Chains A and B, each alone.
Chain A
Amino acid sequence: MTAAVTANATGRGRGGRRHRPIPAWALGLTGLLCLMAVVELVPRTGLVQERFLPPFSEMVSALVDQAGTSAFWQALLETLRGWAIGLAIAMAAGVVLGIVIGGVPLLRAAMSSTIEFLRPIPSVALIPLAVLLYGTEMRSTLLLVVYASFWQILLQVLYGVQDVDPVARETARSYRFRPLTQVRTVIWPTALPYVMTGFRLGAAVALILEITGELVIGSPGLGKQIAVAQTSGAVASMYALVIVVGLIGVVVNVIARTTERRVLRWHPSVRREVFS
């Protein structure tokens, strides 16, 4: 990690002097290559024993072995499915409840303390409850995923609804807009950037909890494969799966950002980014 950061910093410095900026992707790639080199060299030089941290090439070869098995693809699919379902439920619930609660001041005042109480409960603390309710199936992990990402999204939606210009809202009201029309024409456009932020945060948190749930509860997915590799003493396979999880994280982040940029292409924050 440190290596990646340093590589980025030096790269940028040199680029600045030449007045020809190195493209961001090249810098990112350099950082990754440095990290790979470090992970390859540290065990090879004997700084860390190979049986505890295998060289990067061995992890890759373990990954290739894994990729040849159907169990791996099955697990990958299960992880992605759990993540997507959980995020979709959290998004739907968060947006609907956020608009309802945020739109009614009385409800908002009444709910705020409850939300502030429930929100900080770490999802992992609910694992015993999840196991009691659903055993070691996918649903117990889903519960954690939904719980964790729901608050991220709900809070953003609440802020978004609060940010609606009171004059615009009053105007809509005086024109006797129906509640749904108000939501569509006044609240939604203001709240949308917040909703997208909530989506981006929720997507990352959902992935974290998906893997955590699989790892600790043992519900099907990559997290469970990591745990099985660990209890089998298959160190290289374990790291290989960790790399896969990391890659999924990168992909999820890219998807979330792209979606955000597409949905908000009209919004000043995104437009400015494009112009600069």
Chain B
Amino acid sequence: MIRFRAALAAAASVLLLTSACGSGDSSDDASGDGPTTVKVSVIPIVDVAPIYLGNQQGFFAEQGLKLDLQSAQGGAAIVPAVVSGQVDFGFSNYTSLLIAKSKGLPLKVVAAGAGSTGVQGKDFGGVVVKAGSPIKSAKDLAGKRVAVNTLNNINDTTVRASIRAAGGDAKNVKFTELAFPDMLAALEKGNVDAVQVVEPFLATAKKNGGKVIASNYVDTAPNLTIAGYFTSQKTAGSKPELVKKFAAAMQKSLKYADENPDAVRKILGTYTKIDPSLTPSLTLPKFPTEVNSASLDTLSKLAVQDGLIKTAPDVKDLLP
């Protein structure tokens, strides 16, 4: 399924590049009275809790914005929708944005989204092995099969960074693409030796005896920001007021979410179907208010090092 989506993403980017797509302006810029409707495409995962929470707390209404949150199944659907102007903002991890940028897609990051907690072994994502596995640390992953949700993206590059940080041979690791929901079953069956999972699958894995051997985001860089909200350069250029208001509301939402983890856990029940008995044990990501440009540089360097992209895109051009 993921590979299929990746193929879709590729097809979509080709379509985008070859066609001057400027169809349908979805919403007009603030025009006096009444709130402006903003369409935001997000993935129904823990990382986007702040936007739901901010919406509930009225942070967007304060800015005169009315959020229309559309949950999509991944970047394959989000990036084309943002570039064609069907939605105003989208949520994506930074590596995907860097790859898209290096392929010439006109994108712009407008607000931070989610980041690593920075605490070894207590992050919202990590590499997990079965109980009793001979793999004890990231170093032992050399030559082993590791499942990631998308090949040539943030998770395999950061797992490689983890292996390097532990002094292992990162070239030798075999990555397999598997959807997060399928990973624990594959690990249990022995189809793979380790899996890189995020919440809620990390908590499920721990509950069932899985062992976290590395926190790949922590190993990559201190306080790595992983994902954020972006728009197209066209929207950024034609509706600067809208972007400014959205960024301001988003910043407030992220701050609120970071200070009120219980509210975050509670809001999860409204847009995901995560088992309520599991929510207290989830490790929440950090919700940084600023886009950490050092993180982007690191991810960009890793992407070039691992051959995801040939030349590093201009990170400054991607940032607000």
**Chain A residues near B (Cβ < 8 Å):** 49, 51-52, 127-129, 131-137, 215-218, 224-225, 227-234, 237
The reply to whether A49 and B73 contact each other, CB–CB distance below 8 Å, is: no
Among the listed stretches B15-23, B236-244, B252-260, which one makes contact with chain A, having 4 or more residues with CB under 8 Å of it? B15-23
Within 8 A of A (CB), among B268-320: 271-275, 278
Identify 18 residue pairs between A and B in the complex whose beta-carbon atoms are under 8 Å apart, listed by A's number: A49-B188, A51-B208, A52-B184, A128-B76, A132-B16, A132-B19, A133-B23, A135-B87, A136-B72, A216-B77, A217-B72, A225-B273, A228-B71, A231-B44, A232-B272, A233-B204, A233-B274, A233-B275
State the CA gap A128–B23 with chains docked (Å).
Answer: 14
Per-residue A-contact encoding for B1-29, CB less than 8 Å = 1, 0 else: 00011001001100110010101001000
Our pick among B11, B76, B78, B200 for the contact of A233 (Cβ within 8 Å) is: B200
State the CA gap A57–B184 with chains docked (Å).
Answer: 23
Residue B133 at the A interface, CB < 8 A? no
State the CA gap A132–B278 with chains docked (Å).
Answer: 37
Q: How far is the CB of A20 from chain B (nearest CB, A)?
A: 46
Which residues of chain A come closer than 8 Å to B179, judged between CB atoms?
A: 230
The reply to whether B73 and A227 contact each other, CB–CB distance below 8 Å, is: yes
The reply to whether A131 and B188 contact each other, CB–CB distance below 8 Å, is: no
The reply to whether B274 and A132 contact each other, CB–CB distance below 8 Å, is: no
Residue B131 at the A interface, CB < 8 A? no
State the CA gap A129–B16 with chains docked (Å).
Answer: 9
When A and B form their complex, which 6 residue pairs have the shortest distance between CB atoms, in order from nearest? Answer: A135-B86, A128-B12, A218-B72, A234-B273, A232-B273, A135-B81
The reply to whether A127 and B8 contact each other, CB–CB distance below 8 Å, is: yes
**Chain B residues near A (Cβ < 8 Å):** 4-5, 8, 11-12, 15-16, 19, 21, 23, 26, 39, 41, 43-45, 70-73, 76-78, 80-81, 84, 86-87, 179-181, 184-185, 188, 200-201, 204, 208, 271-275, 278
Which residues of chain A come closer than 8 Å to B274, judged between CB atoms?
A: 232-234
Which residues of chain A come closer than 8 Å to B200, judged between CB atoms?
A: 232-233
The reply to whether B77 and A217 contact each other, CB–CB distance below 8 Å, is: yes
Q: How far is the CB of B15 from chain A (nearest CB, A)?
A: 6
The reply to whether B180 and A231 contact each other, CB–CB distance below 8 Å, is: yes
Contact A135/B26 with A231-B181, A232-B272 known, Cβ cut-off 8 Å:
yes
The reply to whether B23 and A132 contact each other, CB–CB distance below 8 Å, is: yes
The reply to whether A132 and B15 contact each other, CB–CB distance below 8 Å, is: yes
Our pick among B15, B44, B84 for the contact of A232 (Cβ within 8 Å) is: B44
State the CA gap A5–B19 with chains docked (Å).
Answer: 50
Closest to B71 in A: A218
Which residues of chain B come closer than 8 Å to A215, judged between CB atoms?
A: 73
Which residues of chain A come closer than 8 Å to B73, judged between CB atoms?
A: 215-218, 224, 227
Q: A51-B208, A133-B23, A233-B204 known; 8 other A-B pairs, CB under 8 Å?
A: A131-B76, A132-B21, A135-B26, A216-B4, A224-B73, A228-B44, A228-B71, A234-B274
Which residues of chain A come closer than 8 Å to B81, judged between CB atoms?
A: 131-132, 135-136
Contact A218/B273 with A128-B8, A135-B87 known, Cβ cut-off 8 Å:
no
Closest to A228 in B: B44
Most chain A beta-carbon neighbours within 10 Å: one of B23, B78, B80, B278: B80
Our pick among B12, B41, B180 for the contact of A132 (Cβ within 8 Å) is: B12
State the CA gap A215–B185 with chains docked (Å).
Answer: 21
Contact A230/B84 with A136-B70, A136-B72 known, Cβ cut-off 8 Å:
no
The reply to whether B80 and A233 contact each other, CB–CB distance below 8 Å, is: no
State the CA gap A51–B184 with chains docked (Å).
Answer: 10
Our pick among B4, B44, B80 for the contact of A131 (Cβ within 8 Å) is: B80
Which residues of chain A come closer than 8 Å to B180, judged between CB atoms?
A: 231
Q: How far is the CB of A218 from chain B (nearest CB, A)?
A: 4
State the CA gap A215–B272 with chains docked (Å).
Answer: 15
The reply to whether A52 and B185 contact each other, CB–CB distance below 8 Å, is: yes
Contact A218/B201 with A128-B80, A135-B87, A233-B275 known, Cβ cut-off 8 Å:
no
The reply to whether A128 and B15 contact each other, CB–CB distance below 8 Å, is: yes
The reply to whether B72 and A228 contact each other, CB–CB distance below 8 Å, is: no
The reply to whether A132 and B272 contact each other, CB–CB distance below 8 Å, is: no
The reply to whether A233 and B201 contact each other, CB–CB distance below 8 Å, is: yes
Which residues of chain A come closer than 8 Å to B86, judged between CB atoms?
A: 131-132, 134-137
Our pick among A128, A217, A231 for the contact of B272 (Cβ within 8 Å) is: A231
